[in-house]
Amino acid sequence: MYLEENELKKYYDELANNHELYLKEYGVKIPGFKRGEKYIRSSLALIYLYINFKQPVKKEDLTDFVLQYPTDGTSGDVQAGRMLGKQSGWYIISGKRGDPECSHYNVNSGEYCLISVEEPYPNFDSLRREIELTEDDWENLKEDYDYRCATCGSKEGEKNYRYGNITKLQKGHIDPNKPLTIVNIIPQCEMCNAIEKDNFVYTKRGRIRKISNAKFVLKSNKKVKEEMFELLKEDLKK
Ligand SMILES: [Zn+2]
């Protein structure tokens, strides 16, 4: 398979977009596209895996694809499949490594498979550790919010606007499905944090953006549930 530069770039841009939206916050790294006239090997490998999304790719085929272009590497061996997963955090499973998903995707030894462009490789945490919250970070974050709850605006140590008790700020998740790291925290008062717990994804300004717990829809009345059912059927067909 040979793709022209504009086609390669189209796939690369899709990957870069997903990286920006979903993967960057986990510390996943995306290789550059080109350096001068030469392609970056690992980006070609990533593109090839992406074209074969959720399908096993033989290391020889990956190598053949990459080496038909002028690249930044010199050796005849392309290690990119392994490196992209283990070191850069892309969710690429390896038959040789024996990742648990291999049987599901029929990935054998000597094969790789990219299985998500929205989730990082499980437990990939090179940067996650670095972006864990220290006490200083937490103080700075509260200061950015003028020591107010991102959701209701009540100020720490003062009377809560909504509930009347004294406001104490807590670390609220922006997205409860992601780890509580510095990029995923807003200050929330005890009440906002407790009442809306885990059901929603927030914006940095403390506004609800989407549902994060599917069971929450069960609280809706029958008419809304039926509408939701129809909407989801349509949406999932896409
Ligand atoms: Zn609040």
Regarding whether 101 and 145 lie in a shared domain, the answer is: no
Is the same domain home to 201 and 154?
yes
- The widest CA-to-CA distance across the chain, in whole angstroms, is 69
Cα 169 to ligand 1 centre (Å): 8
Residues 6+ away with beta carbon under 8 Å from 197: 176
Are residues 116 and 139 both part of a single domain? no
**Residues above pLDDT 90, as percent of the chain:** 55
For residue 188, what pLDDT is reported? 94
Report which residue type is found at 96.
K
Residue-number span of the structural domain to which 159 is assigned: 135-216
What does the buried/exposed string (b/e) look like for 48-85 if buried means 16 or more CB atoms within 10 Å of the residue's CB? bbbbbeeebbebeebbebbbeeebbbeeeebebbbbbb
CA 217 – ligand 1 centroid, Å = 23
Check residue 220 and give its pLDDT: 92
Amino acid 25: pLDDT: 79
Query: Is 127 domain-assigned?
Result: no
Q: Residue range 146-172: average pLDDT? A: 93
The total of structural domains in the chain comes to 2
CB of 196 closer than 8 Å to CB of 186: no
21 and 77 in a single domain? The answer is yes
163 in a structural domain: yes
Q: Does 181 fall in a domain?
A: yes
Q: Tell me the average pLDDT of the chain.
A: 88
Residue 234 domain-assigned?
Answer: no
DSSP string, 206-223: S-EEEES-GGGGGGS-HH
Q: Dig out the tokens for 152 from the structure.
A: 């209701």
CA of 192 to the centre of ligand 1 (A): 4
Whether 221 maps to a domain, the answer reads no
Residue 127 has pLDDT above 60, yes or no: no
Check whether residue 168 and residue 83 sit in a common domain: no
pLDDT at 99 > cutoff 80: yes
Q: What is the pLDDT of residues 162-216, one digit of tens each?
A: 888 999 999 998 888 877 788 889 999 998 988 776 889 988 888 888 898 888 8
CA of 154 to the centre of ligand 1 (A): 6
Strands (E), the chain: 34-35, 38-39, 57-58, 90-94, 111-120, 169-173, 185-189, 200-202, 208-211
Q: Which of 135-149, 188-202, 224-238 comes out lowest in average pLDDT?
A: 188-202
- Asked if residue 141 and residue 180 are part of one domain, the reply reads yes
Measured in Å, residue 175 CA sits from the centre of ligand 1 at 17
Ion ligand 1 neighbours (CB, 5 A) are 149, 151-152, 189, 192
**Whether residue 151 sits in one domain with residue 113:** no
Q: 21-25, 40-44, 91-95 — which is least confidently predicted?
A: 21-25
Same domain, 109 and 168: no
**d(CA 234, ligand 1 centre) in Å:** 36
Gap from CA of 52 to ligand 1 centroid (Å)? 46
Give the burial class of 178: count Cβ atoms within 10 A of its Cβ; 0-12 exposed, 13-18 middle, 19 or more buried: middle
- Residue 196 included in any domain: yes
Counting every residue, how long is the chain?
A: 238
Looking at residue 124, what is its pLDDT?
A: 75
- What's the 193 CA to ligand 1 centre distance in angstroms? 7
Q: Can you tell me the distance from the alpha carbon of 216 to that of 195, in angstroms, rounded to the nearest whole number?
A: 13
In the prediction, which pLDDT does 128 show?
52
Domain end, chosen from 75, 93, 120, is at 120
Q: Which of 5, 201, 12 is nearest to 117 (CA)?
A: 12
What is the pLDDT confidence band of residue 91, given thresholds at 50, 70 and 90?
very high
pLDDT score of 131 more than 70: no
